[in-house]
């Protein structure tokens, strides 16, 4: 069965698993993939970070410090459907006019299907060579929960072994991306003294303190130079709240900060700069701390990736990065900080959209591309 496994048909099968997050419930899809991979000779481990929140890791070949593997990663949870009606049933995997429709078709069950099929096609070669490893995660859409859980497990990290290169199969329409920004989300809190709204002078308004802090943040600038491709980091105040009723002075207020960092920026340094700018009346708490990822185009392995993509796409790729973050931020250091590319068949503009689709030929091309990368790595 595995010798004739079709990546488009596998994508359809994966779409038929409803893994909308929340709640996710990725256990059944990972069990399905485990059976396919084990029948092709892969050694697998399933890991839960919560009930029914299952990730899957697999490997074949050396996967050792002397002969590190080529590693692929992708997530199998998907975002909710939204309120608008879909043209086709979102968990049917319908193909129409060369497009495969369904939630997760682009983000990113097509990417998972492509590297699973490529890994199975190349299993015998990988078994005798440096090897292939795969990290198929749960809970990516809600802060890379599954990936962080895996990276913290010494047992799983030891099982996988080090990777010599890393492919993140997020939707890029088979165009290689050199990296992505990091995410540093903070909660800023202020405190005051409550009083009756008709006598505000008897209180201390926490919201006024917060508002002043927000205006300070509007003028905040990073003291690091812009990245050559990512540009400068950004800061946005996403939410703010204060008070319980209209006729009282609020004694507590808070806002959330969405900071997107570029490669080379230190999150701890940014934290120190913010504390200095906001002063002692504002307390900062970390919500998410996810570092950015970047590999230069002149890295020897990345040059090979660009060559293979040029053959598949018929044009030399443009050097670029993206602003969103991926599981690579959680996993890269755990597998030895290998050169990393973001590369997958999905259409990036279709991610999270109603009537999400992926082009069928992109899935087929991606599978060939991944198989070529696997083969090259075994001979390197």
Question: What residues pair up with 48 in beta bridges, in sequence order?
Answer: 54
**Separation CA 19–CA 42 (nearest Å):** 24
φ/ψ bin of 217: left (φ > 0), alpha (ψ from -120 to 50), beta (otherwise): alpha
Model confidence band, residue 380 (pLDDT cutoffs 50, 70, 90): confident
Average pLDDT, the chain: 97
The answer to whether 120 touches 6, Cβ cutoff 8 Å, is no
Question: What residues pair up with 180 in beta bridges, in sequence order?
Answer: 293, 322
Q: Residue ranges per domain, the chain?
A: 2-180+292-379, 182-290
| DSSP 8-state code for residue 204 | B
State the alpha helices, DSSP H only, in the chain. 7-15, 27-39, 110-121, 123-127, 145-151, 154-160, 206-218, 267-278, 300-313, 328-331, 360-379
Residue (of 326, 310, 370) closest to 344 by Cα position: 370
pTM, two decimals, is 0.92
The answer to whether 76 touches 29, Cβ cutoff 8 Å, is yes
**pLDDT at residue 3 greater than cutoff 90:** no
Query: How high is the pLDDT of residue 2?
Result: 61
State the DSSP string of 303-316: HHHHHHHHHHHSSP
Query: How high is the pLDDT of residue 170?
Result: 98
Please identify, in words, the CATH class of the domain defined by 182-290. alpha beta
**Separation CA 178–CA 95 (nearest Å):** 31
**Separation CA 214–CA 192 (nearest Å):** 16
**Separation CA 329–CA 213 (nearest Å):** 30
The answer to whether 136 touches 75, Cβ cutoff 8 Å, is yes
Cα angle 268, 274, 275 (rounded to 5 degrees) comes to: 90
In tens, the pLDDT along 183-241 reads 999 999 999 999 999 999 999 999 999 999 999 999 999 999 999 999 999 999 999 99
| DSSP 8-state code for residue 195 | -
The catalytic residues are 77, 140
Q: How do 163-168 and 340-342 pair as beta strands?
A: parallel
**Separation CA 167–CA 74 (nearest Å):** 9
The answer to whether 326 touches 170, Cβ cutoff 8 Å, is yes
Model confidence band, residue 300 (pLDDT cutoffs 50, 70, 90): very high
In tens, the pLDDT along 227-285 reads 999 999 999 999 999 999 999 999 999 999 999 999 989 999 999 999 999 999 999 99
Please provide the CATH number assigned to the domain covering 2-180+292-379: 3.40.630.10
């Amino acid at each position: 069965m595995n010798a004739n496994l079709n990546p488009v048909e596998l994508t359809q099968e994966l779409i038929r698993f409803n893994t909308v997050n929340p709640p996710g419930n990725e256990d059944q899809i990972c069990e399905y993939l485990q059976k396919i991979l084990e029948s092709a000779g892969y050694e697998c481990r399933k890991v839960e970070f919560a009930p029914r929140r299952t990730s899957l890791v697999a490997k074949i070949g050396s996967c050792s410090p002397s002969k590190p593997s080529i590693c692929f990663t992708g997530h199998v949870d998907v975002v909710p459907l939204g309120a608008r009606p879909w043209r086709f049933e979102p968990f049917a995997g319908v193909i129409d006019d060369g497009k495969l429709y369904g939630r997760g078709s682009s983000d990113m069950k097509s990417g998972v299907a492509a590297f699973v099929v490529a890994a199975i096609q190349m299993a015998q070669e990988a078994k005798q060579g440096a090897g292939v490893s795969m990290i198929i995660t749960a809970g990516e859409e809600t802060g890379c929960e599954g990936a962080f859980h895996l990276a913290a497990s010494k047992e799983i990290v030891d099982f996988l072994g080090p990777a010599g290169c890393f492919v993140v199969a997020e939707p890029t329409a088979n165009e290689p991306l050199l990296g992505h920004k990091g995410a540093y989300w903070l909660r800023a809190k202020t405190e005051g003294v409550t009083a009756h709204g008709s006598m505000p002078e008897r209180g201390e308004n926490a919201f006024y303190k917060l508002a002043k802090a927000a205006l300070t943040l509007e003028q905040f600038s990073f003291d690091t130079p812009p990245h050559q491709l990512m540009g400068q980091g950004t800061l946005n105040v996403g939410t703010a709240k204060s008070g319980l009723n209209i006729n009282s002075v609020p004694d507590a207020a808070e806002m959330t900060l969405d900071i997107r960092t570029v490669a080379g920026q230190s999150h701890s340094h940014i934290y120190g700069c913010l504390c200095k700018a906001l002063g002692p009346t504002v307390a900062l708490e970390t919500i998410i701390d996810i570092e950015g990822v970047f590999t230069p185009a002149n890295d020897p392995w990345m040059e090979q990736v660009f060559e293979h993509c040029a053959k598949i796409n018929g044009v030399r790729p443009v050097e670029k990065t993206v602003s969103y973050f991926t599981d690579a931020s959680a996993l890269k250091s755990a597998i030895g900080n290998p050169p990393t590319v973001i590369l997958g068949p999905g259409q990036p503009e279709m991610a999270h959209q109603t009537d999400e689709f992926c082009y069928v030929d992109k899935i087929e091309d991606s599978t060939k591309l991944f198989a070529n990368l696997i083969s090259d790595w075994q001979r390197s």
